[in-house]
Amino acid sequence: MRRPGGTPRWPRWPAVRSRRVRPTPTGGPPRTTRSSPRARPPHVRVAPVVTEPLVALADGTVKQVSPLTGTTVWTVPGRGGRPLEHHDHVRSGAPEGGRDELCAFCWGRMAQTTPEKSRLVVGADGSARTFDEVPASRLHEDCPEVRSFGNLFEIVSARYWRTNHGARPTPHLQERARAYVEEPAGRAQVEALLAARAAAAGEPVPPVRSPMWWQDVVDLFAGSHDVVVARRHLIDGARYGDELAGAGTLGIDEHRRFIAFTVESMRRVYLAQPAARYVAVFQNWLSAAGASFDHLHKQLVAIDEDGPQLARELRLAATDPALYQHAALDVAVRYGLVVARNEHAVAVAGVGHRYPSLEVYSTATAQLPWEHTPEQIAAFADLLHALHAATGAGVPSNEEWHHRPPDAREPMPWRAVLKWRVSTLAGFEGATRINVNTLDPWQVRDRVVQRLVDLRAAGLVAPMAVGDRCEDLVLRYGQEVAR
């Protein structure tokens, strides 16, 4: 149910139980039994015990417990009105030249990344084509809208897969590496990358053409931590250097292609690394959210286990096939947290996240992202794009994708969580495991719904139902109706 204005709901406070006391055999001071609570003065009330996912207390504090993760979050009143975007610096003008060379992810500096795996090029007629394994000598023959390449500083390295899983590069990869370094441009690019990585690790570069050097070269092509990068650093026509091209600034079709390209890249990572149990997909936007560059990009990281949270959700899903309908969508409907809906996806304000969050769920019967139809992927992308647009490019954020591991039997929908990194976890959170953030889910929902209405009217986001006009809020993953 939605929190009524001025009359928040909260649970009954439990009565204070008196402790049971038993004498000690030696006549010493009495001690309480283990089952008794700590003694409290009679006039002190016991704090409310949160038994619901979302509870508003009498003073305005909102307590949340995630039904999926068990994470506890408190939102303290009086802090939700602060602006999310911070401009505490003097704005500098955008550079007159070199706008395509502002960071290593810009298309004017493509030789500073690892060898390219794939790119998407959009022609003058609007048609999009994918090109794989472009050699160094042809990197600048066109301007890719999106491109993918390996992360130079991997979270899970090629050496990890080789040492722990016996992974070996395919003959095709070895031949591609050989052909790449035979070109002068490719050789110079690879040598510069190896030197940069060795310097960062404080190690010498292996002698050229030595077995160790060749292994390092092949690893640049064979890694399982990819980066998917959009073209722009600044928006078109930017006057200031902080007018960054975030996900919400992309055109509707452009963002659809960005998401579809990422989905295909994820599928390829799974195919290239058979030992991968899961491929984590995420987007860090701005340095406060962990981004190395203020340039729109996603990362795809193969790992060889589920991770504790995914393992927990798989256990829950094994006993409740409609887990995400019950624990997410039904909760959002009950508390009035639905944000938007289109034909194949639904967006809600999230409950029980460390940071104010929004969630997008695919309502398709397909579960794995690459098993969705192009129309279903586009619908998912549209809601994600709209949430980014409503958030604003000046807000640090993390976009995290979640999907069922391909070899898991438990049903799980494709979903994404957009987290606003507008607060900093500190000592209180570490000491209590209670996370304090500045906005409760109702405030997040109201902010975003109002912004979406304006964006939709301006034609800046795709058509969608917004707020209370959303209907048919059912997840159909893995079954006809998830009820």
The model's pLDDT over 344-379, given as tens digits with 9 standing for 90+, comes to 999 999 999 999 999 999 999 999 999 999 999 999
What pLDDT score does 7 carry?
39
pLDDT at residue 22 tops 50: no
Tell me the average pLDDT across 415-433: 92
What pLDDT score does 425 carry?
83
The model's pLDDT over 266-292, given as tens digits with 9 standing for 90+, comes to 999 999 999 999 999 999 999 999 999
CA nearest neighbour of 397 among 373, 419, 372: 419
pLDDT > 90 in the chain, percent = 78
Sorting pLDDT into bands at 50, 70 and 90, what band is 78? confident
The model's pLDDT over 138-163, given as tens digits with 9 standing for 90+, comes to 999 999 999 999 999 999 999 999 99
pLDDT at residue 19 tops 90: no
Report field, pTM of the whole predicted structure over 0.85: yes
Tokens of 163: 């040492």
Sorting pLDDT into bands at 50, 70 and 90, what band is 98? confident
Domain borders along the chain are: 274-469
What pLDDT score does 20 carry?
36
CATH numeric code, 274-469: 3.30.428.10
Window from 3-12, 102-111, 298-307 with minimum mean pLDDT: 3-12
What pLDDT score does 209 carry?
87
pLDDT at residue 212 tops 90: yes
pLDDT at residue 94 tops 80: no
CA nearest neighbour of 56 among 70, 72, 75: 75
What pLDDT score does 21 carry?
38
pLDDT at residue 34 tops 80: no
pLDDT > 70 in the chain, percent = 86
Sorting pLDDT into bands at 50, 70 and 90, what band is 29? very low
Window from 71-75, 82-86, 429-433 with minimum mean pLDDT: 82-86
Which of 80 and 446 is assigned the larger pLDDT? 446
pLDDT at residue 470 tops 60: yes
